[in-house]
Structure 1
Amino acid sequence: MTVDPMPPPLPVRSVLDLPLVDGALPLAISVAGVVAAVFLAWPRGRRWHRPAALVVAGAALVPAVAAVVLNVLWRPTPDVLPARLFVWSGVALAAVLAGAVAARRGRRMTRLFVVPAVLLVLATSGVKVNAIYGYYPTPRPLLGLADPNALDPARVPHRTGTAVAPVRWVPPPDLPARGAVLDLRVPAPVSGFAARPAVVYLPPAALVAGAPRLPVLVLIAGQPGGPRDWLTAGRLAAVLDVFAASHHGLAPVVVVPDATGGTFANPLCVDSPRGAVETYLRRDVPDWIRARFDVDPDPRHWTIGGFSYGGTCALQLAVRAPEVYPALLDVGGQDEPSLGTRAETVRALFGGDDARFRAVNPADLLRTRRYDGVSGTVVVGSAEGDDVGRAARLVDLARSSGMQVRHLVLPGGHSWAVATAALQLTLPDLAARTGLLPTAPR
């Protein structure tokens, strides 16, 4: 297995942009947490063995029960939650229980340090859990602060129908330094799908008079989750701003529609009793984008992408509707839509009819149809275990169907850090394929 290098880190413009997944800040928190854990675990009194045993038992039992509930009984996501998640949850619980013991049995001076020590261990556990998925890449989303690219929807330029191709566009002197992010509802007149608001990124070139006709990138978030995950966890605006700054404000228009209908909903990106998601993504969303923005209407300049559930969804749309999305970005997706096992999936969403499932299953379609002219990138984290081999087999299958597929194995696991890196690495290829080339001022 060859592991590809990660792209350069995104710029740090303030303390709110410091990395929380790796780097100096999480390391400092972890070191402080270890010291605090030693303080909380230090023996106090002669009969400290009994409360210590209760702390250990509670910290082990509760996460074990949670693991059974979440991974066996409830299964809110088809992906099995990793053991590290429950281990660090147990560490956090142990800190709270040990803190309670220390506050009761310790001396007065000791009690003054109990609360700060517990908070440091909780912070360390939070950093370690966050490192699994990279959901909070910086302090900004963790603190719930507004995105610096946020824009009032009323100020978004409307479609004029007079936009020119990017190669003929000349950047004006008042070109903004950043793109804009906004939340907009995408109507669903064809599908009737009850979707949450979509996230839209407009590059600097789309925010000025005489804006060029730009290509489109449709991104799908994971499950559980929602459209804003690509903005907060995936650092969508930061990645696109860096790209646009190097290309005279040019970048794709990015739309992140809702593809589930709820945080824990899982309609598998197909039309089913859980909602007509496929019709929404292949009819309603593209129609709305073309009507609302001055984008390139040529479907050859459109890309569908996503992370985890979104990666699987992107693959499904590319093989089910290549006339709409002839290019894809699949980051950490599965080789088939799944609610856990194929039997469970077929029974729950396809009425037990395996033929109906095969009609929408990418692997089956890739074996029976040709996809000449379809291109894409399949990305997987090097620490994703069996999914690394599964992604490689999917790439081979896609290539045998005529697809032109780039395969990337990036350092890391099933995390948003890998998704962010994949987006960074994919943008140059997207620009080359869609004719989105920089034009120097005359």
Structure 2
Amino acid sequence: MPSRSSSARILVGGVVGLLLIGLAGFAAAPRADGPEQAAAILPDNPLYDSWHAPAGMPAHGEVTLLAGDDRIPSSAGFEPRDASLYLPPAALVTDPPDLPLVVFMMGQPGDPDPEPISTAMDELAAQHDGLAPIVIVADQLGDPSNNPACVDSGTFGGVETYFTKDIPAWAREHLHVAADPSQWTIAGFSNGGGCALDWALGHPGLWGNVVSLSGESYQGTEFPDEMLQQVFDGDQAAYEAAKPAARAEKHAGQFTGHLAIFAAGADDAEFSAQAQLSRQIAKDAGFDTRFFSIPGEDHVGALPGGLLVGFEALFPRLGLGPPSH
């Protein structure tokens, strides 16, 4: 685990930080579709059943910047900006349990800002005796103006390798994380949500869960011609093969017991439609799925509420809380 003394404390501002004002008071009930959902597969021995928060456990989690000696190395030519690490209160005790792992991405343009998800995880941890996932907030862009399309390419380097090999290897070596794929979640917002879906479908043995908040149903939905040329060198077949629907077909039959959670702002018609398309791809592939519509919110405004309801729905699957009734 990175040295807390050698890792700089994250101080986050900007637009997303302002959007989080009042997060703790988010009270509007998001809408979840629908009665046809099967019950998510739950762990046999959930952690919340045996966990007792020890005396002296911190009230809040800790966020550190993974920079310098703590930086997660990238092995295939992709040059990410520094990632961040969120450790929930339960990870900060003397003998911490192995906790679920979440790898989370923000949108494009944007930064790998840990504040939105760390704030939501702290709120959920406060409701679950300090239990929450360990979260790595990582960069899938390299630069705010880049869009590597969730694939390794000659233009942007090995972003998919970074997320599906380098980050997992670093997490296993440095963190107290559960080993089972059912405890690993790939997640993101907007562009990050699209990559989360793509990699969950492309790597079923690695990620047992996906959370896509206002995410795309495939890379470059708004500018496919630019994506085709910039990332895939005009190779339409390569572009099609990289899309979530194609990856779902390639790995058909490998998603039993996997959980996919989608959310979008009720006032964001474009990405609500994208989220529903994404949900259908996951459902057809064999995922158990959930969709939440965040009342009164547009694209960016849906992030705080989407994080809360999305991960609250994931907690029982991760053994961090009882199933809701």
TM-score tier (shorter) = 0.7 to 0.9
Give the equivalent residue in structure 1 for 2:127. Answer: 246
Q: Is residue 301 of structure 1 aligned with residue 186 of structure 2?
A: no
Q: Is residue 344 of structure 1 aligned with residue 226 of structure 2?
A: yes
Q: Rg: which structure is higher?
A: 1
Tell me the alpha carbon deviations over residues 316-347 of structure 1, each in whole angstroms, 9 at most, x when there is no partner: 11111121112111111111111743222112
Give the equivalent residue in structure 2 for 1:422. Answer: 306
Higher mean displacement: 167-176 or 267-276: 167-176
Give the equivalent residue in structure 1 for 2:149. Answer: 268
Give the equivalent residue in structure 2 for 1:384. Answer: 268
Cα RMSD, aligned residues only:
2.4
Matched letter for residue 191 of structure 2: Y
Supply the distance in 2 between the matched residues of 1:342 and 1:434 (Cα, whole angstroms). 36
Provide the secondary structure at the position in 2 that maps to 1:172.
coil
Supply the distance in 2 between the matched residues of 1:374 and 1:169 (Cα, whole angstroms). 24
Query: Post-superposition shift, 1:207?
Result: 0.8
Supply the distance in 2 between the matched residues of 1:138 and 1:351 (Cα, whole angstroms). 40
Whether the aligned pair in 2 keeps the contact of 1:303 and 1:325 (CA below 8 Å) is yes
Give the equivalent residue in structure 2 for 1:202. Answer: 87
Give the equivalent residue in structure 2 for 1:176. Answer: 58
Q: 1:258 aligns with which of 139, 148, 151?
A: 139
Give the equivalent residue in structure 2 for 1:191. Answer: 76
Give the equivalent residue in structure 1 for 2:248. Answer: 366
Q: Is residue 219 of structure 1 aligned with residue 219 of structure 2?
A: no
Matched letter for residue 391 of structure 1: A
Supply the distance in 2 between the matched residues of 1:240 and 1:301 (Cα, whole angstroms). 16
Give the equivalent residue in structure 2 for 1:330. Answer: 212
Provide the secondary structure at the position in 2 that maps to 1:432.
coil
Give the equivalent residue in structure 2 for 1:396. Answer: 280
Supply the distance in 1 between the matched residues of 2:18 and 2:197 (Cα, whole angstroms). 26
Supply the distance in 1 between the matched residues of 2:134 and 2:288 (Cα, whole angstroms). 23
Provide the secondary structure at the position in 2 that maps to 1:377.
strand
Whether the aligned pair in 1 keeps the contact of 2:209 and 2:260 (CA below 8 Å) is yes
Query: Post-superposition shift, 1:393?
Result: 2.9
Whether the aligned pair in 2 keeps the contact of 1:166 and 1:214 (CA below 8 Å) is no
Give the equivalent residue in structure 2 for 1:105. Answer: none
Supply the distance in 2 between the matched residues of 1:395 and 1:361 (Cα, whole angstroms). 14
Query: Post-superposition shift, 1:378?
Result: 1.3
Give the equivalent residue in structure 2 for 1:285. Answer: 167
Supply the distance in 2 between the matched residues of 1:174 and 1:219 (Cα, whole angstroms). 29
Give ranges in structure 2 of 5+ residues lacking alignment.
1-13, 23-45
Supply the distance in 1 between the matched residues of 2:284 and 2:20 (Cα, whole angstroms). 41
Supply the distance in 2 between the matched residues of 1:328 and 1:293 (Cα, whole angstroms). 20
Matched letter for residue 130 of structure 2: G
Whether the aligned pair in 1 keeps the contact of 2:189 and 2:212 (CA below 8 Å) is yes
The percent of aligned pairs where both chains have the same amino acid is 34
Supply the distance in 2 between the matched residues of 1:167 and 1:374 (Cα, whole angstroms). 22
Tell me the alpha carbon deviations over residues 58-104 of structure 1, each in whole angstroms, 9 at most, x when there is no partner: xxxxxxxxxxxxxxxxxxxxxxxxxxxxxxxxxxxxxxxxxxxxxxx
Query: Post-superposition shift, 1:419?
Result: 1.4
Whether the aligned pair in 2 keeps the contact of 1:181 and 1:237 (CA below 8 Å) is yes
Supply the distance in 1 between the matched residues of 2:153 and 2:170 (Cα, whole angstroms). 22
How many residues get paired?
279
Query: Post-superposition shift, 1:138?
Result: 5.5
Provide the secondary structure at the position in 2 that maps to 1:303.
strand
Taking a change above 3 Å as real, the CA distance of residues 369 and 237 of structure 1, as seen in their structure-2 partners, is closer
Taking a change above 3 Å as real, the CA distance of residues 267 and 198 of structure 1, as seen in their structure-2 partners, is same
Give the equivalent residue in structure 1 for 2:32. Answer: none
Taking a change above 3 Å as real, the CA distance of residues 436 and 388 of structure 1, as seen in their structure-2 partners, is closer
Whether the aligned pair in 2 keeps the contact of 1:319 and 1:366 (CA below 8 Å) is yes
Give ranges in structure 1 of 5+ residues lacking alignment.
1-125, 141-163
Taking a change above 3 Å as real, the CA distance of residues 348 and 358 of structure 1, as seen in their structure-2 partners, is same
Provide the secondary structure at the position in 1 that maps to 2:94.
coil
Supply the distance in 1 between the matched residues of 2:250 and 2:108 (Cα, whole angstroms). 29
Query: Post-superposition shift, 1:369?
Result: 4.3
The TM-score normalised by the length of structure 1 is 0.59
Matched letter for residue 358 of structure 1: E
Provide the secondary structure at the position in 1 that maps to 2:239.
helix
Tell me the alpha carbon deviations over residues 223-271 of structure 1, each in whole angstroms, 9 at most, x when there is no partner: 111112x41xx2x232222211221111111110111112222212210
Higher relative contact order (CA 8 A, sep 6+): 2
Taking a change above 3 Å as real, the CA distance of residues 298 and 139 of structure 1, as seen in their structure-2 partners, is closer
Kindly indicate which of the two structures has a greater share of residues assigned to helix: 1
Taking a change above 3 Å as real, the CA distance of residues 421 and 377 of structure 1, as seen in their structure-2 partners, is same
Query: Post-superposition shift, 1:396?
Result: 2.3
Matched letter for residue 218 of structure 1: V
Taking a change above 3 Å as real, the CA distance of residues 352 and 410 of structure 1, as seen in their structure-2 partners, is same
